[in-house]
């Protein structure tokens, strides 16, 4: 029986959005050594590997303390609690963040309040933050999200927070190594929160997280909170949780940390290559302006025809992702907050336009060129 038009031929080339197996093959010897050392030690919870990685990561971020926890979500949740945020308090963040940012606020028994984004940076707009604080005196903290590996505009955000006595807790889950005014993000506020989820710029092999801070009292509370609230063995000073970074993940992350600067340099170089190859294409490319030094956890472009472009790239064997397609205020789980479509037009538009292209240190220049070539063949004018 005739099927009419022939099915399109499958693409001759496949470029995954992310291929973690390439990184494993590169780091296999380092990782196996870390695993064997940890297993042979007989100490698997809160031992020397966690302590060593905490010291190393604090030094990398330029902070006095680092406290390892079980995930990036727990890092935010426990940082909020360590800063005294709880029942009856409100926390401001941007609505186009990943849902875990808002999960952490709810876990701390606080209420999320959203503020729209700067349409150029796609991050929390300091001017709108100032306006929102006039209407919400119950706000006790602000979480600027360093989205995609770029830095939020920290100087005005922190200045406004200081005026109102707010804690600043940085969501740096996507921003390992990102700099703002020549200082690592995560080190600016009361606390900076990192995720080591496997896809992150510095990724573990399971869930893992970290809070960095320059405040010794906050660090002390975090160490108790992550371990049932224990001040000492069998002495519980506060209600806590079980959120400990385990020894094996800490050892694996310690093995990879020394290579992080080189890997970020590679990400930046590949991003520059995309910039050059896509310069004449009608896409909005990622901004990279001072005082931000982008670490390019993601290379995110914007287009009104995002979905059609994504389908076109899929036909060419190119994987893409959307970070994130639905703003949090429109997620069913957060209808109780009372927001509606149209409340945050900047974030809503961004969620309709953003598309993440493949970018990771193991990606080759030739693969970047192939992706850019496929984008250039897209029919940019919509069909009439």
Q: Which residue has the tokens 């590679």?
A: 266
Q: What is the pLDDT of residue 381?
A: 77
**Are 54 and 152 members of one domain?**
yes
Q: Domain limits at 216?
A: 22-258
CATH no. for residue 187? 3.40.640.10
Q: What is the pLDDT of residue 7?
A: 52
Residue that finishes a domain, picked among 243, 258, 273? 258
**Are 77 and 94 members of one domain?**
yes
Q: What is the pLDDT of residue 382?
A: 65
Peptide bond preceding 324 in cis form (omega within 30 of 0): yes
Question: Within a domain: residue 368?
Answer: yes
Domain count within the chain:
2
- Return averaged pLDDT per consecutive 10 residues of the chain, 384 residues in all: 51 93 96 97 96 98 98 98 97 98 98 97 98 96 98 98 98 98 97 98 98 98 97 92 98 98 98 97 89 93 97 98 98 97 98 98 98 95 59
CA distance 142 to 130: 11
Question: Within a domain: residue 38?
Answer: yes
Q: What is the pLDDT of residue 367?
A: 98
Neighbours of 107 (CB within 10 A): 17
**Are 304 and 245 members of one domain?**
no
**Are 86 and 220 members of one domain?**
yes
Question: Within a domain: residue 196?
Answer: yes
Question: Within a domain: residue 46?
Answer: yes
Residue that finishes a domain, picked among 258, 290, 319? 258
Q: What is the DSSP letter of 282?
A: S
Peptide bond preceding 291 in cis form (omega within 30 of 0): yes
CATH no. for residue 342? 3.90.1150.10
Q: What is the pLDDT of residue 157?
A: 98
CA distance 95 to 113: 9
**Are 165 and 94 members of one domain?**
yes
Residue that finishes a domain, picked among 194, 224, 258? 258
**Are 367 and 288 members of one domain?**
yes
**Are 28 and 139 members of one domain?**
yes
Question: Within a domain: residue 142?
Answer: yes
Q: What is the pLDDT of residue 2?
A: 39
**Are 252 and 132 members of one domain?**
yes
Concatenated DSSP letters of 98-119 = -HHHHHHHHHTT-EEEE-PBPT
**Are 229 and 310 members of one domain?**
no
Helix (H, G, I), strand (E, B) or coil at 291: coil
Neighbours of 336 (CB within 10 A): 9
**Are 29 and 169 members of one domain?**
yes
**Are 77 and 155 members of one domain?**
yes
Question: Within a domain: residue 30?
Answer: yes
**Are 245 and 288 members of one domain?**
no
């Amino acid at each position: 029986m005739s099927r009419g038009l022939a099915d399109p031929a499958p693409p001759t080339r496949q470029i995954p959005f992310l291929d973690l197996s390439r990184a494993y093959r590169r780091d296999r010897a380092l990782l196996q050594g870390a695993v064997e050392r940890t297993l042979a030690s007989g100490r698997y919870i809160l031992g020397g590997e966690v302590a060593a990685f905490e010291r190393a990561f604090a030094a990398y971020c330029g902070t006095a303390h680092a406290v390892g926890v079980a995930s990036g979500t727990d890092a935010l949740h426990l940082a909020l609690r360590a800063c005294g945020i709880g029942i009856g308090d409100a926390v401001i963040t941007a609505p186009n963040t990943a849902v875990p940012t808002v999960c952490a606020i709810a876990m701390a028994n606080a209420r999320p309040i959203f503020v729209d984004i700067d349409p150029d940076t796609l991050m929390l707009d300091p001017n709108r933050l100032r306006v929102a604080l006039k209407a919400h005196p119950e706000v006790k903290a602000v979480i600027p999200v360093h989205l995609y590996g770029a830095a939020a505009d920290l100087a005005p955000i922190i200045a406004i927070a200081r005026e109102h006595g707010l804690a600043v807790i940085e969501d740096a889950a996507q921003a390992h190594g990102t700099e703002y005014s020549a200082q690592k993000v995560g080190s600016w506020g009361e606390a900076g929160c990192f995720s080591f989820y496997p896809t992150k710029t510095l990724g573990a092999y399971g869930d893992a997280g970290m809070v960095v801070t320059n405040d010794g009292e906050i660090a002390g509370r975090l160490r108790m909170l992550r371990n049932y609230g224990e001040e000492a063995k069998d002495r519980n000073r506060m209600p806590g949780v079980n959120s400990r970074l385990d020894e094996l993940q800490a050892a694996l992350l310690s093995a990879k940390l020394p290579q992080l600067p080189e890997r970020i340099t590679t990400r930046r170089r590949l991003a520059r290559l995309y910039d050059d190859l896509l310069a004449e294409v009608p896409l909005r490319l990622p901004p990279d302006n001072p005082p931000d030094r982008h670490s390019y956890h993601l290379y995110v472009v914007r287009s009104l025809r995002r979905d059609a472009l994504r389908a076109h790239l899929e036909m060419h064997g190119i994987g893409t992702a959307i970070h994130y397609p639905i703003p949090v205020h429109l997620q069913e789980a957060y209808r109780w907050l009372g927001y509606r479509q149209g409340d945050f037009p900047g974030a809503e538009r961004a969620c309709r336009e953003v598309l993440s292209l493949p970018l990771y240190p193991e990606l080759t220049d030739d693969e970047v060129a192939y992706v850019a070539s496929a984008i250039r063949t897209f029919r940019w004018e919509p069909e009439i």
